[in-house]
Structure 1
Amino acid sequence: MRLLHVTAHLGGGVGKVLSRLVEASSRRADGIEHTIACLAMPEKTLFVDHARAHGARVVCAPDARSLDTLVREADVVQLEWWHHPLVARWMGATAHPPMRLVVWSHVSGLGLPTFPSRFLTLPHRFLFSSTCSLDAPAVRQLSDEARARLGVVFSSGGFDDLPEAPRRGDDTPLRTGYVGTLNFAKLHPDLMDFVAAVRIPDFRLALVGDPTTADALHTEARARGLTSRLDVRGFTHDIAGTLSHFDVLAYLLNPQHYGTAENALLEAMAMGVVPVVLDNPAERQLVEHERTGLIVRTPSEFADAMDRLATTPGLRATLSAQAAAYVRKRFDIAVTANALHAHYAAVLDEDKRSIDFRSVFGTTPAQWFMACQHPDTWTPDALGRAGTGSAHAQLEATKGSVFHYRDHFPEDAQLAGWARQAEHAR
């Protein structure tokens, strides 16, 4: 079977998942020929190199004609979707050759970006990467017939690249960290409230990731006298080495974040790092309270959880072992590959057909952007009132924001005008 992946890029969680799927496919000799059309030139080549090393054909920044050829040649086209401008351009700029289309969404649809209901009915299969997406408003509007063409495949890249969880000493001071995206569309905007609430002497939170919000975090920490409690380390490729020196993962995300399978969280659990997460929809699908981690709702509850873990080493050891065993089994790359393969086999029995993305998303960049917003709330005034909710996603430089779309489509006057208005809410 010839499988074409269409993706905006091969960075972050998507890059790991796709490159590990290629590796698993090669190892299993399952007969799938993987081609990855990466619409952007890669900033980092780690996952591009990994996919190629295991037999995938990776085509970077193909022109429209070349991409059409790849679509025609493919038995199945899998679109990796998260409302990126480059994917929107591919979907909305021209008509496409007939295809068997599987859409794999890497955002939840619970906040921004939203799913247009009609988008869910366009492909042969629409796959979510977390069961939390089944509660999205667009999904609840669907008929039973349309729901039958939905599926859930958690987008885990597995843990073959990680060693076994190390043994941690019971008598050492609690070492707490966070690994992942540091922008406030993902990280909780009131993170410092949680840091301030901890009662443990000498508590320090290490933040590992591209330091996009480092200045804002340091400024707030200085203003609140919390400088000694914050350690912003920046991005690292040595995830295993980093996680082996943490006892607890303080995974405190924006309640309206866009994520789903949360590979950074799963990798930490696989390494025996005890997760403390907020009671958000995506995290509830990954962490079982009191069995594989602790779920909290407020800074006070976070402080209580940290006290328990610091003073009860037996609890910490139990949660660590159970978390590692659970995620390594449930989210193994073979589980992801098997689930996807079942959907491929099903759609191969169906005919290729024309997919009219433009009927849902429109034909201009401004229409592509607005198709996944809340039109009744996406205004400069609403952005200013949004507080810790969706405003942070809307005001990011990237992540499908108006600025992200404006930068990709500077010729669109409507996007440029919206971006100028939105600047006042930043």
Structure 2
Amino acid sequence: KEIIDLDTIPHVKFIVVGGLKQKEIEAEAKAMGIGDKFEFTGYVPKSTLKDYLKTFDVFGYPLAQYHYGTCDLVLQIAMASGVVPIVFNNAMEKLFIKNNKTGIVVKDKKGYVQAIINMYNNINWRKELSNNAKEDAIKRFTLENLDNEWEKVFNEVLKYSKVSRKWEVSRGRWDINKKEITYADVFLESLGHYGGAFRYNYNAKTFADLIFSQKRIEELAHIPSWQTETKGSVHNYYSYFPDDKHLKNWSKIMKEELK
């Protein structure tokens, strides 16, 4: 209800493709009295995704402000399919979309609602943006362009002098008596200095240390980038290595904090 004016567009239909949050979103929609406005497809193979996109007038993509996306594939697919994207002015979206040319970029929820109304009321403009989005995506998101951009990055990196890399574990800064590297060690190593709360908990010597570090981990649980089940989060590591006691504990702490 916050991103659509049901009085202006009474026959609106939301098609939600994907299954990770389906039950949660479906329950929320029903609780708000708009369950009939939604169609949930569940998981669909990528090969059939284009069949759904063909039925879309616009591609609603209101991501949270501090999301971690940098090169969103689904946004590329939508644009290449000629579906007009409507997004917030986050860093990634602004890089992808030329406002009022290949899509609509808005500042807030009010602007989002108005953008959808404008697309509903102006079919010709929507068709123009659709054609522009498709043309721009096909030109920009090609293997040739991708290859050229990666080559630029590699050439830039090769200019730097080689340096010797050593794990913190091997330097004895976590546990000097450790003989084997655990999966929790790998997780901590991947975080670098951002893993302070987990490392403090890992090395806790007293009950007070455990309580203090747990509070810090609970604080992290409220940050969206730490809540994801993928992208190298503690939940991601725990899903692959469920027997690691530290990963199990950290994942449990963060999830229970959000209940």
SS in 1 for 2:8: coil
CA contact (8 A) 2:218 2:253 kept: no
Which structure has the bigger radius of gyration?
2
Asked whether 1:395 is paired with 2:204, we answer: no
CA distance in 1, matches of 2:195, 2:94: 25
Residue type of the alignment partner of 2:33: G
Shift of 1:414: 2.9
Match of 1:365 in 2: 186
Of 279, 282, 293, the residue aligned with 2:89 is: 279
Q: CA separation of 1:410/1:365 partners in 2, compared to 1, >3 Å: closer, same or farther?
A: farther
Shift of 1:307: 1.0
CA distance in 2, matches of 1:312, 1:403: 44
Shift of 1:270: 1.5
Post-superposition Cα deviations, 1:101-152, rounded to whole Å, max 9, x if no partner, equal xxxxxxxxxxxxxxxxxxxxxxxxxxxxxxxxxxxxxxxxxxxxxxxxxxxx
SS in 2 for 1:256: coil
Shift of 1:261: 1.5
Structure with greater proportional helix content: 2
SS in 1 for 2:2: helix
SS in 2 for 1:261: coil
Residue type of the alignment partner of 1:232: F
Asked whether 1:256 is paired with 2:93, we answer: no
Of 20, 26, 36, the residue aligned with 1:228 is: 36
CA distance in 2, matches of 1:302, 1:413: 44
CA distance in 2, matches of 1:325, 1:223: 40
CA distance in 2, matches of 1:327, 1:338: 16
Percent of pairs with identical residues: 25
Of 4, 7, 17, the residue aligned with 1:208 is: 17
Q: CA separation of 1:347/1:310 partners in 2, compared to 1, >3 Å: closer, same or farther?
A: closer
Match of 1:379 in 2: 216
Q: Which runs of 5+ in 2 are unaligned?
A: 175-180, 198-212
CA distance in 1, matches of 2:254, 2:237: 13
CA RMSD of aligned residues (A): 3.1
Structure with greater proportional strand content: 1
Asked whether 1:304 is paired with 2:114, we answer: yes
Q: CA separation of 1:199/1:298 partners in 2, compared to 1, >3 Å: closer, same or farther?
A: farther
Match of 1:338 in 2: 148
Match of 2:132 in 1: 322
CA contact (8 A) 1:197 1:300 kept: no
Match of 2:241 in 1: 409
SS in 1 for 2:52: helix
TM-score normalised per structure 1? 0.47
Post-superposition Cα deviations, 1:181-211, rounded to whole Å, max 9, x if no partner, equal xxxxxxxxxxx632576731111111112x1
Matches within 5 A, 1:182-201: 193-195=2-4, 199-201=8-10
Q: CA separation of 1:278/1:350 partners in 2, compared to 1, >3 Å: closer, same or farther?
A: closer
TM-score normalised per structure 2? 0.75
Q: CA separation of 1:347/1:419 partners in 2, compared to 1, >3 Å: closer, same or farther?
A: closer
CA distance in 2, matches of 1:288, 1:198: 29
CA distance in 2, matches of 1:344, 1:298: 38
Q: CA separation of 1:395/1:197 partners in 2, compared to 1, >3 Å: closer, same or farther?
A: farther
SS in 2 for 1:277: strand
SS in 2 for 1:250: strand
Number of corresponding residues: 228
Shift of 1:342: 4.2
Post-superposition Cα deviations, 1:278-327, rounded to whole Å, max 9, x if no partner, equal 11110010011111111123332222111111111121121112111222
Post-superposition Cα deviations, 1:66-87, rounded to whole Å, max 9, x if no partner, equal xxxxxxxxxxxxxxxxxxxxxx
CA distance in 2, matches of 1:350, 1:366: 27
CA distance in 2, matches of 1:257, 1:357: 31
Where relative contact order (Cα < 8 A, 6+ residues apart) is larger, the structure is 1
SS in 2 for 1:265: helix
Residue type of the alignment partner of 2:135: A
CA distance in 2, matches of 1:340, 1:255: 27
